[in-house]
C-alpha cells in the first residue's frame, strides 16, 4: 500500500489531479514542478495500471492525451484530507525543528573549524 500510493511521485500526481481535475501532460508537469517527463510518464503509466488514473487519448491533430483521477483514486480523498489537516497542524512545528537543527549544525561546524 505504501509503495503503491506514497512512492516518490504518486502522491503529488494524485494530489494535483484530485485538486485540478482532468489535465494534459504538460499542464500536469507544470503543476508538479521539477519532475522529468520520463519519470512523470513512468509514474502515470503505473498509476493507470493500478487503476488510480484514467488516461484518455483523443485522436486529433495534434494528438491530445488527458489524465484524470479515477473513482478508485478518488477513494483516497479521506487520506488526502487527513494529510492536509496534518500538514496545517504540524508543518510549522517541522519548520521550527528544521531551523533549530540547521542552526546547531552551523554552530558545530563553526566550532570544529576553530
DSSP for 38-93 reads: HHHHHHHHHHHHTTSEEEEEE--SS-EEEEEE-HHHHTTHHHHHHHHHHHHHHHHH
Angle, vertex CA 90, rays to CA 1 and CA 13, nearest 5: 40
Would you say residue 13 has pLDDT above 90? yes
What's the predicted TM-score (pTM) here? 0.75
Is domain 1-74 annotated with CATH 1.10.10.10? yes
Which pLDDT tens digit goes with each residue over 23-59? 999 999 999 999 999 999 999 999 999 999 999 999 9
Which pLDDT tens digit goes with each residue over 66-95? 999 999 999 988 988 898 899 999 999 999
**Distance, CA of 97 to CA of 44 (rounded, Å):** 34
C-alpha cell at 55: 488516461
Amino acid at each position: 500500500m505504501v509503495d503503491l500510493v506514497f512512492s516518490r511521485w504518486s502522491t503529488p500526481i494524485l494530489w494535483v489531479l484530485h485538486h485540478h481535475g482532468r489535465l494534459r501532460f504538460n499542464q500536469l508537469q507544470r503543476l508538479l514542478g521539477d519532475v522529468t517527463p520520463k519519470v512523470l510518464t513512468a509514474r502515470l503509466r503505473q498509476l493507470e495500471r493500478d487503476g488510480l488514473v484514467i488516461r484518455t487519448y483523443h485522436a486529433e491533430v495534434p494528438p491530445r492525451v488527458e489524465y484524470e483521477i479515477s473513482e478508485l483514486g478518488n477513494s483516497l480523498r479521506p487520506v488526502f484530507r487527513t494529510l492536509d489537516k496534518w500538514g496545517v497542524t504540524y508543518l510549522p512545528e517541522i519548520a521550527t525543528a528544521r531551523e533549530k537543527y540547521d542552526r546547531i549544525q552551523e554552530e558545530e561546524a563553526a566550532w570544529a573549524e576553530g
